[in-house]
Amino acid sequence: MLDQKLIDSAPIPTHVAIIMDGNGRWAQQKHRPRLYGHKVGVESVQEIVEYASELGVKVLTLYAFSSENWKRPSTEVSGLMSLLKGYLLSELSKMLKNSVRLVSIGDIQKLPQDVREVLEKTIAETAGNDGLILNLALSYGGRSEIVQAVRKIASDVLAKRISLDEIDEKLITNHLYTSGLPEPDLLIRTGGEARLSNFLLWQASYAEIYFTDTMWPEFRREAFFRAIAEFQGRERRFGRTSAQLGSG
């Protein structure tokens, strides 16, 4: 049983980012094809989006497809693309009802045209919503995100729109795909691995990182609750000492 009061008494993280790992292994353990794991993984997405929204999380970023995932067998890639499209089409009415705003980060030009069109349409139709921001990382890679930011900034310097000493952390932050979004407070990775896999490399500098062995298809309300409860028990010092934080 979830004791909701337990987490209601402390601040809920503003931005939660999740590496949804373990779909393939979970399916293989059950002697089912990997795509079955992704399909059940979509149910976890639905449940976590709903719960995050109820809890008052402001931004939920989900690593749905990395720039490296294009290297997977073409049947798995097309299966994932069709799950994504199906998810967007089936969830639009729920997003509108719950005031969820969809945004995305990544090189979405690489997505198949039909998927991109549904994505752009869902983004446009939910643009006026003021509830949870659901941010899907699609064809996303943290290093290439930084490369494209550096290119834009360099071209601004070359064209003398900005000077070298105007380049600071804020300017770089503002040139990333996540411009305008707060940094993640809590970064969760399911599936038992403990690495960042090119996810939000710049933005996660001060995120609390939570690794769990739970495979994504089994990561539901209770597992999310546990991650939030653990986050609330951690002390975020941002480089300061505990004593400094205590004195405000």
Which residues of this protein are in contact with ligand FPP, per CB under 6 A? 20-25, 38, 41-42, 45, 62, 64, 69, 80, 83-84, 87, 136, 191, 216
Please tell me the distance from the alpha carbon of residue 7 to that of residue 10, in angstroms, as a whole number.
Answer: 6
Tokens coding 237: 């010092």
Residue in this structure with the two tokens 């659901």, named with its chain if needed: 134
- In 3D space, the residue among 122, 149, 157, 146 whose CA is nearest the CA of residue 136 turns out to be 122
| Active-site residue, 198 included | no
Q: How far is the CB of 100 from ligand FPP (least distance, A)?
A: 13
| Active-site residue, 114 included | no
Cβ proximity to ligand FPP: between 149 and 191 the closer is 191
Tokens coding 215: 């495979």
Taking CB atoms, the residue at the shortest distance from ligand FPP is 24
Q: How far is the CB of 208 from ligand FPP (least distance, A)?
A: 21
| Catalytic site residue from 3, 23, 69, 168 | 69
Cβ proximity to ligand FPP: between 64 and 153 the closer is 64
Q: Where are the beta strands (DSSP E) in 92-179?
A: 101-105, 133-140
| Catalytic site residue from 21, 23, 135, 185 | 21
Cβ proximity to ligand FPP: between 59 and 153 the closer is 59
> How much of the chain is in helix, strand and coil states, percent to nearest 5?
50, 15, 35
Residue positions annotated with a catalytic role: 21, 69
